[in-house]
Structure 1
């Protein structure tokens, strides 16, 4: 539910009636996991998805029934292989859901939604007992009590882009769409503008290495740093700092000849082999693209593969499950994910 905060909060503040449908269990494979939610308004607006389109129509009807009755309802979609396909679950899996009405008068839920809207860490307990969600007004704060499903929101993972050229603009757009909070930094203020980077959360006009030094305490193990400056006078000092920060990913664009020369310069700057081994360069997966947008997709794909321990191989070349554990605790969303 909390991933719908941007759409729900304005409606609930305005007094609009809304029903939320939340996945409480998943069997086998499903596009979205436990805790995923969608919503439907009394006027018929549909917000979000719980199955990638497979059972949305049935889920909407369940939500409208919850609105009309004013109480929580439960349903199962496809808990046998035959039923799964009959219910439209092309993935072959099955889900259990609860639907429950929600209003702006529910102060606990509103507080959690508003915190999520501010991108602050928050969690909410949803009472799920006796085959139904609790009625309006009984959403609880986090609890270990049996029958309470914990929903949570973690602040978005950060992507720091150093350099403000066309590749940086494309990467900013793609990463923001994927749920990253993007910071763009360049020493040339003419390029670091809201017009060029409308999706950025933060624009910084400063030498990249200076920015990394002065902001080091803002970065964490969920942060990715991409150096796209194309200028060794800028990227060598920036990489010398970045590779010593406790971040998840450091990458730099460059031809293979540039990568080799850059490694030598970084050694001269005092970096050792272990530090240099952290550098992803040339940056991006081999997708064969050429445009800034295609390059941006390749870069983001490598970042996501690293965070999710993905192989980067085509799914058809693998026999492992397509989706991770669908019933993993939604109290600790993975990087870039909102539960």
Structure 2
């Protein structure tokens, strides 16, 4: 819902009822990830998408029905071999879509969740998508230190233990920035989704945008900034040379900092001015290829739990840089984290082509891609979903 949060907040603030359809499960080659959402208001206006087009019409109608009935529904969409024109996914995948009506002021959990999401406050929204009819659609909005909403809005019931467990699970997923399903027994215990009398929650974690910090205010950096913004990062450019590090040269960056790279990185180890500190999603692109900047910076960066560290330079520069990193005490395991020369081998020459190569390696690192043409393989297209499914199966077998 994050990408349509501004519109949802506007509808909510005006007291307008609407319905939100959210992708809560994906199997096979589906076009959108869990968390993708389409919303329709009482006047028929629609925002967002759940499938890129192939089932939007059917989901739109479900949203209208939910507004009229006030009832939430879980619907599955998949490809139909019998009728190629039937509602389904021509890519062969399966989408589970949860459609929930929203009446402003009627649900503390949804009210708080929409407000938090629109304001950028980290929050996990846990909604019951499968289970007893009386719980379907029940929502709790969970932050780091509190929660809003209840599984029993009418008063205390036997769902107290279930609610406490759901809040604890949602808070753990928020801390990790994860979105996915959680299945619990009615008494709150974790259990196999196939067990009898279970409740399945879909937990959506909304956290600030991941950060990309580009060190080195060179011409290639401008292209990397643009593609970093396109990928959804909050982008910072840092360079110690004030003549190069200017907002005029990098108008699309969220911020331009004049400072020594290693000193700026040190300053980012804790949250500043309400922005996210560096974390496991952070991308560091070192484009200076100048030892006096690179070595002190990489000495620190390669010891931090960030998601990606890449550095520009020739193969000779790479070997010289590694030797200097050993001299300052980095281990072989720490040096092995460095992606250098940065980017995939696309034969790039221009700054824009180089930025595409850099972005491709970042996406592959994040999603587990094999960096081969899709036409060269026959396995899953979405590697991260395949890994998540395998991990869940292993966990259930060991439970």
Per the normalisation by structure 2, the TM-score is: 0.72
1:121 matched residue in structure 2: 122
Consecutive unaligned residues in structure 1, runs of 5 or more: 330-339
| In 1: Cα distance, 2:246 partner to 2:123 partner | 32
Q: 1:243 & 1:55 partners in 2: Cα distance?
A: 44
Give the corresponding residue for 1:13.
Answer: 13
Contact 1:119 1:155 in 2 (8 A): yes
1:212 and 2:251 equivalent?
Answer: no
What's the offset of the Cα at 1:190?
Answer: 4.3
Aligned mates of 1:290, 1:133 — CA distance in 2: 60
The structural deviation recorded for 1:283 is 0.5
Match of 1:57 in 2: 57
Q: How does 1:296-311 map to 2 (within 5 A)?
A: 296-311=355-370
Q: Note if contact 1:161-1:227 (Cα within 8 Å) is conserved in structure 2.
A: yes
Residue 131 of structure 1: how far off its partner (Å): 10
Residue aligned with 2:39, SS: strand
- Give 1:252 deviation, angstroms: 0.7
Matched with 1:336 is none
Q: Secondary structure at the match of 2:385?
A: coil
Secondary structure of the 1:261 match is helix
Secondary structure of 1:325's counterpart equals helix
- The reply on whether 1:294 has 2:353 as its aligned counterpart is yes
d(CA) in 1 for partners of 2:134, 2:344: 44
**Residue 212 (structure 1) shift:** 1.6
C-alpha separation between the residues in 2 aligned to 1:257 and 1:327?
A: 36
How has the CA–CA distance of structure 1 residues 29 and 83 changed in structure 2, closer, same or farther, with 3 Å as cutoff?
Answer: farther
Instruction: Report what 1:39 is aligned to.
Output: 39
Change (3 A) 1:214 1:31: same
Is the CA contact (8 Å cut-off) linking 2:23 and 2:36 kept in structure 1?
yes
Distance between the aligned counterparts of 2:32 and 2:141, measured in 1? Answer: 24
In 2, the alpha carbon distance for the partners of 1:192 and 1:17 equals 47
**Aligned pair in 2 of structure 1 residues 133, 117: CA closer, same or farther (>3 Å)?**
farther
**Cα shift readout 1:291-326 (whole Å, capped 9, x = no counterpart):** 222211211211221222221111121222112438
Q: Which range moved further: 201-210 or 67-76?
A: 67-76
Which shows bigger deviation, 147-156 or 246-255?
147-156
Q: Secondary structure of 1:216's partner?
A: coil
Partner of 2:385: 325
Distance of 2:141 and 2:112 partners within structure 1? 10
Higher mean C-alpha deviation, range 23-32 or range 88-97: 23-32
In 1, are the aligned partners of 2:79 and 2:91 still within 8 Å (CA)? no
Cα distance, 1:52 vs structure 2? 2.1
Map 1:102-121 to 2 at 5 A.
102-105=102-105, 106-121=107-122
What is the CA RMSD across the aligned residues, in angstroms? 3.1
Aligned counterpart, 1:332: none
Instruction: Give the match for residue 214 of structure 2.
Output: 161
Structure with more contact order per residue of length (Cα contacts < 8 Å, sep ≥ 6): 1
Q: Which residue of 2 aligns with 1:250?
A: 309
Structure 2 unmatched runs, 5+:
143-165, 167-183, 187-198, 271-276, 390-399
